[in-house]
Amino acid sequence: MGLPVVHVASIVPISLTVGANRIVPAVAIPHPLGNPELPRDEERALRLNLVKKALRALQTEVAEQTVFAE
Amino acid sequence: MAENKYRVVHYLNQFFAQIGGEDKANVPPLVREGAVGPGRALQKTLGEEGEIVATVVCGDGYFAEHIEAAAEKVVELASPYQPDVFVAGPAFNAGRYGVACGASCAAMSAKLAIPVVTGLYEENPALDLYRKQVYIIPTADSARGMREAIPRMAAFVHKLGLGQEIGLPQEEGYFPRGFRINQFADRTGAERAVDMLLLKLKGEPFQTEYPMPTFERVPPSAAIKDLRPATIALVTTGGIVPLGNPDRIEAASASKFAAYSIAGVDDLTPDAYQTCHGGYDPVYANEDPDRVLPLDAARSLERDGTIGKLYDLYYVTVGNATSIANAQKFGQAIAEKLKAADVDGVILTST
């Protein structure tokens, strides 16, 4: 039952308020999974890591709302 | 008849007009002279200054099946009486009757430019349909509340009849219509906020200026044990859509969500995708839409076997001033589709 969802969100307090159970903080509002300051391939690596973090969150059992900050 | 009595036309359904019950629900619009049924109680409370000159009646079934035509007919039957005010119901929690009252009021207001009012229970679906166009007085959920509702409705009709200004919902006792009115306050927002905080810190009662909605909590779903065979779907509220926004998802207050195929797509590029979200600076997302919907990363994780499959469709809406009701609706609908497609987990990105 249910469908595990991870919220990669720029504004963590909003994500917590609306009730997301698995939250990964994103980089910034206009580029949650990017950073235009970085050279292209560094940015891609950053994005890949964020998505991997999101997948790890999906693999983690949680009993309550959890922010995967590390 | 006393001079300067304001003229009122009342609308009732077949039941309250004492024509019949469900068996008479298909009665087309007709008009009776003077006050009928609960209109008499309304008239009594209006006293000498206002007169219900006619009562328009229509069967609930007939109205529901011919809403536009019936509303027009109501206007046609009412206008010879030259009403200054039009009052409908109250309809309490009755759905069809509520719609008939709301639609009649809206039509009378639009066609004759006269003030209108009706009464509904807060859960009546007609409330949300007509609250912006029509004053709606809150009532109980059934006709047991008639006794209690009539004086309040009469008071409102009276104000309208005398051409008095109607104040704020909380003062006058009607459902907020959703309009924002600018007001000057005696102190700045900063001062009012600090005062409120001080009261809160002291544990003293305070009155919020804006009640926050409460959000339901959903128990966390079970984790995915093994990613390697898993199908992962991407969903975003960041408004990433095919170039041109073919389904016209709104930049704010989205009324819809959409699904687009990413089968065979490895990378989102500005020649094929854009953002349609009006709540953040679009420059970076338009330069590289992967910054909001991380397709390139997800695809590479599919290629290297980290995940079994990246679902062929992604879902998108715009999370800018989305109504909570819509957000819930979209979420549920998307989840149902993903479950039906045997998706194992979702990465939802938001700006």
Give A69→chain B minimum CA distance, Å: 16
pLDDT tens per residue across span B46-67: 999 999 999 999 999 999 889 9
pLDDT tens per residue across span B279-312: 899 999 999 999 999 999 999 999 999 999 999 9
Please report which residue ranges of chain A form alpha helices under DSSP H: 12-18, 40-58
Sign of CA dihedral A34, A36, A41, A42: negative
Give B283→chain A minimum CA distance, Å: 8
Residue range(s) defining the domain that contains residue A24: 7-67
Establish whether the linkage from the previous residue to A13 is cis, with ω within 30° of 0.
no
Mean pLDDT of B132-139: 96
Beta strand segments in B93-248, E: 116-120, 135-138, 231-236, 240-242
B161 & B239 share domain: no
pLDDT at B18: 96
Q: Specify the residue for token string 């006709």.
A: B143
Q: Average pLDDT of chain B? A: 95
Give, for B55, the enclosing helix (H) or strand (E): strand B50-58
Most distant pair of Cα atoms in chain A: their distance: 42
**Which A residues 8-67 touch B at CB under 8 Å?**
8-11, 15, 17-19, 21-22, 26, 29-34, 36, 43-44, 47-48, 50-52, 54-55, 58-66
Does the pLDDT of residue B150 top 60, yes or no?
yes
What is the domain count for chain A? 1
Per-residue DSSP letter, B166: P
Does the pLDDT of residue B110 top 80, yes or no?
yes
Give, for B11, the enclosing helix (H) or strand (E): strand B6-13
Does the pLDDT of residue B228 top 70, yes or no?
yes
Instruction: Give the DSSP letter string of B315-343.
Output: EE-B-SS--HHHHHHHHHHHHHHHHHTT-
What CATH number should be reported for the domain holding residue B21?
Answer: 3.40.50.2000
φ, ψ for residue B12 (rounded to 5)? -135, 160
In this prediction, what percent of chain A has a pLDDT beyond 90?
Answer: 84
- CB contact under 8 Å between A48 and B301, yes or no, is yes
Residue range(s) defining the domain that contains residue B113: 6-172
Nearest CB partner across the interface for A58, out of B218, B219, B224: B224
> Which residue, B141, B172, B203, sits at the end of a domain?
B172
| Domain presence at residue B183 | no
> Which residue, B172, B187, B202, sits at the end of a domain?
B172
What is the domain count for chain B? 2
Does the pLDDT of residue A48 top 90, yes or no?
yes
| Domain presence at residue A1 | no
